[in-house]
Structure 1
Amino acid sequence: SLRSRQTLKLVVEGAVFTEEKDFLVQSCEYFQALYRSGMKECRQQEIHLKGLCARGFLIALVVLRGERPILDADEIVEAIECAAFLQVQPLAKHLVEIIDSDNCLLMYHTAANFGLMALYHAAAMFIRNMYHDLESEVRKSLPIELVLYVESLVPSTFVAVGAHSTCGVNETIHVGNRTLCHLDDDGKSWKVLTELPPKASTSMAGVTVLDNKLYVVCGIQLQGAQKQAVESCFCYNVESDEWSTFASPKQLRYNFPLVGLDGCLYAIGGEYKQTIMSSVETYKVGTGRWSFAAHLPRPVAGAACTKSMGRIFVCLWKPMETTEIYEYLTRNDQWLLVTTLIRHQSYGHAIVAHRDNLFVMRNGPQDDFLRCMMDCYNLSTGQWTTLPGHFANSKGSLFTAVVRGDSAYTLNRTMTLEYAIEGKTWKPRNQMKGFPRSGSLWTFFLRLPKGNR
């Protein structure tokens, strides 16, 4: 209808923007409130937005259309001002997603000034997780109340769990090993956080963290030589130290990646009864319901998967010697081929993200998993870079890599190794105690209550 296509002229610092009214109302709480108020501006075709920068408003429009720009310092300040003034939630979310060690102090201080609370808290958490590196700069450049708030927070803790099948009532001998453990602050010992519920399986399960809760979906239990899919799904609330169950996917599966993003879990591909699948399901935590999403371009089990800047990426192998990286477009419910990596006798087995870089760990020559090679794909430039040298991958430690701040943590029975990520290089930074469990491992970060640390 003509009404739904009504366009408005918006004047910001003398710059004129023409946008559909419905687009603005759906995107910004400011315009929602304006058109509910009955003020005279509701009947005007031209609205002057005072106290805003034109560039900040332009950045807001770009983000609302689905782009994810990397911003410099001046653009960050103007974007925060616009996000706070117009209550543009997608812009505030984008700002959270691009927090890094170069801009976190600016984000934190500016968000505090403009009252953009989600960004304020996210930037403070990022600073707390990197406080060892940032403390002197924090104390030198921030007001004391902002320093005290950062120091009041609990940093994220490195947590690991082994791959365990379900545990029957007559198998209590195994219970002692079925534990989630966290690395203490000095990195010298692992301490038990909680035990897995008897019916929970972390063997070939989907395991991920979303909003500081751990989710374990499906997995397997062995019946003779047969893999039997586990129907139960579990959630661990670290704040209350309680496990709960939730609905299983419509299609049972195992050997699949599970990703948590924006209040949803994504179960991607996997196997069921020896059949490799391309189906994808999403679970909305708020509604407690699973639903099917767009299928993968082809069936895959045990795919490498990661999140970067609020985006989901998955590695698919394509014989011979080709690793394709696809992005799942949550807005459009479709998979998009982002880039292709071709390496002789090598596939991407693990992938982690740092800033706008995707790091793909792959086996070395002749399937040599002990000499792990690494390639970096930059999302902003679209360029591949091979990291110099190779990385010791004893017992698959690099395949467990998870990132916090500017560090990547890897883990095996021998040691926990922290790498400092500096540009396109990984440099060993700190060696800590290994995890005393055999077999595959799941690693992640959780913020533990102060009493648990």
Structure 2
Amino acid sequence: MEVNYDVPVDFERRLSNPASSSAKLTVVIGDTSFLEEKGLLVQSCEYFQALYRSGMKECYQEKIHLECLQARGFLIALAILRGEQPILDTSDDIVEAIECAAFLQVSPLTKHLINIIDSDNCLLMYHTAATYGLMELYHKAAQFIRDMYSDFELEVRRTLSPELVSYVESLTPCTFAAVGAHVACADNKTVHAASRTICYLDDNSDSWDILTDLPLEASSSLAGVTVLDNILYIVGGVHGADKEVVDASFCFDVTTNSWTKIASPNQLRYNFSLTGHDGRLYAIGGECDRVAMSSVESYNIEKNTWGFVAHLPRPGTGVACTKAIGRIFVCLWRPMETTEIFEYIPNKDTWQLLTTLIRKQSYGHCMVGHRDNLYIIRNGPSADFLRCLMECYNLTTGQWTSLPGHYANSKGSLFTAVVSGDSVLTLNRSMTLEYVVDGNTWKTRRQMKGFPRSGSVWTFLLRLPSKKTV
């Protein structure tokens, strides 16, 4: 291509703030033309960012031909850039989307592909990402396969090259881990030291082994606990009968086996929900001085700072919270007998009512996401917590379905459920249960040793170093 170095003097300003430019660009792929805002493309695609910094003559053209793409892949990318959640229900859709994400370096499209990895498409995602060099998707798809390797091993060895098989097998699978509700130590004295531990379930020996001890200042009682990018975060909590708020927050890095103290939220809180998404933590609702709150704070992990974001529509304590296909959801109760599901939309900083569930004498107490389904686990009628009932809300169709049967808390507390691949792991003191999710049924797959602690418990998944890999 011919190079023209006479870049307009205001070009860098327009590039740094592409939304200020309303110029249109025609992108031609094969016999299909797309008329789009140049700013949208420059803002989200590294290909166009590099092109418009190059000073080449294409910087000034109103039409660009892309010879190496399929029109369908570019159409999917445009839908993502507009904030849509397109369904990729064919192999061609997935292959062409990966091709476009790799060629144009469309980060939002790559994130969307990662969010929709499942047991039906993970092998195709992995192989295609390797072919086109989309390394982030390549790694995430390989991790997903590794977590379900007992189900996939025969197909992996039959369909993938030795190099791809070797990479999957070199990865560490997720491990089921838990911590009980323990208060901070008073005056730096060790209180119930034997129980102030984070444990993981060793599949080989069917035993709960100690991973690490909680820091002396940390409390997991009514604290916020979550894992993001394989780092465990414990924020806030209480100690003492008077529920004195703990002004200390920590993160644990399993690769270095070390704890680090991090900034605490601006508003001290307990009995709140903590979730991680896209480099940030969100502390949602909770209590302070026994008063329920609607405030929400976001923690920027890179900057170690907290800032307030959009409040919940109303105060909520211990609200059920989960993620599905890269989106954040919470359950809020509204008397009488109403459970409302809200979605937090980060780029708009708003909470949006998604759907409402009304069930007699029952509220949603736990929620887990699997594929594009939200599973709402609720108490039985008359607050019978020995009977868990379950409803499924499909994000794509907007339809509710009641799952058949019931699930007894005496066998496995579903209020602590976490999802790994197509499995849901639950536990209580008596046993750990693994369910296999198959549409509108949860089938018991295996029973393991119960968690040797009484009271409330937090559960999560971690990728442990090889010496502790199960």
Tell me which interval the TM-score lies in, with the shorter structure as reference length: over 0.9
| Superimposed CA distance per residue, residues 370-391 of structure 1 (whole angstroms, 9 cap, x where no aligned partner) | 1100000000000000000111
CA distance in 2 between counterparts of 1:232 and 1:137 reads: 47
Conserved 8 A contact 1:187-1:432: no
Tell me the equivalent position of 1:268. 284
Whichever residue aligns with residue 65 of structure 1, its letter is: R
Do residues 70 (structure 1) and 92 (structure 2) align?
Answer: no
Tell me the equivalent position of 1:199. 217
Conserved 8 A contact 1:27-1:64: yes
Tell me the equivalent position of 2:151. 133
Whichever residue aligns with residue 413 of structure 1, its letter is: R
Do residues 413 (structure 1) and 429 (structure 2) align?
Answer: yes
Superposed displacement of residue 187, structure 1: 5.6
Whichever residue aligns with residue 112 of structure 1, its letter is: A
| Superimposed CA distance per residue, residues 337-382 of structure 1 (whole angstroms, 9 cap, x where no aligned partner) | 0000001110000000000000000011111111100000000000
> What is the TM-score with the length of structure 2 in the denominator?
0.94
Q: How does 1:26-425 map to 2 (within 5 A)?
A: 26-72=43-89, 73-169=91-187, 171-186=189-204, 188-222=206-240, 225-394=241-410, 397-425=413-441
1:173–1:258 Cα change, 3 Å: closer
Gaps of 5+ in 2: 1-13
Superposed displacement of residue 70, structure 1: 2.1
Whichever residue aligns with residue 93 of structure 2, its letter is: E
Moved more, 53-62 or 388-397: 388-397
> What is the TM-score with the length of structure 1 in the denominator?
0.98
Superposed displacement of residue 173, structure 1: 4.8
Gaps of 5+ in 1: none
Whichever residue aligns with residue 143 of structure 2, its letter is: M
CA distance in 2 between counterparts of 1:198 and 1:130 reads: 36
CA distance in 2 between counterparts of 1:113 and 1:392 reads: 47
Matched residues, number: 451
Q: Identity of aligned pairs, percent?
A: 66
CA distance in 1 between counterparts of 2:405 and 2:201 reads: 29
Moved more, 99-108 or 161-170: 161-170
| Superimposed CA distance per residue, residues 8-28 of structure 1 (whole angstroms, 9 cap, x where no aligned partner) | 111012111111111110010
Where has structure 1 moved over 2 Å in runs of 4 or more? 168-173
Superposed displacement of residue 170, structure 1: 6.7
CA distance in 2 between counterparts of 1:188 and 1:8 reads: 60
CA distance in 1 between counterparts of 2:78 and 2:299 reads: 29
What's the secondary structure of 2:413's corresponding residue?
helix
Conserved 8 A contact 1:108-1:123: yes
Conserved 8 A contact 1:233-1:247: yes
Whichever residue aligns with residue 371 of structure 1, its letter is: R
Conserved 8 A contact 1:70-1:98: no
Superposed displacement of residue 452, structure 1: 2.3
CA distance in 1 between counterparts of 2:123 and 2:58 reads: 37
What RMSD in Å do the two structures reach over aligned CA positions? Answer: 1.3
1:449–1:143 Cα change, 3 Å: same
CA distance in 2 between counterparts of 1:216 and 1:187 reads: 28
| Superimposed CA distance per residue, residues 38-61 of structure 1 (whole angstroms, 9 cap, x where no aligned partner) | 111111101011110000000000
Whichever residue aligns with residue 139 of structure 2, its letter is: H
Whichever residue aligns with residue 400 of structure 2, its letter is: W
Tell me the equivalent position of 1:9. 26
Superposed displacement of residue 395, structure 1: 7.5
Conserved 8 A contact 2:188-2:216: no
Superposed displacement of residue 169, structure 1: 4.9
Conserved 8 A contact 1:200-1:234: yes
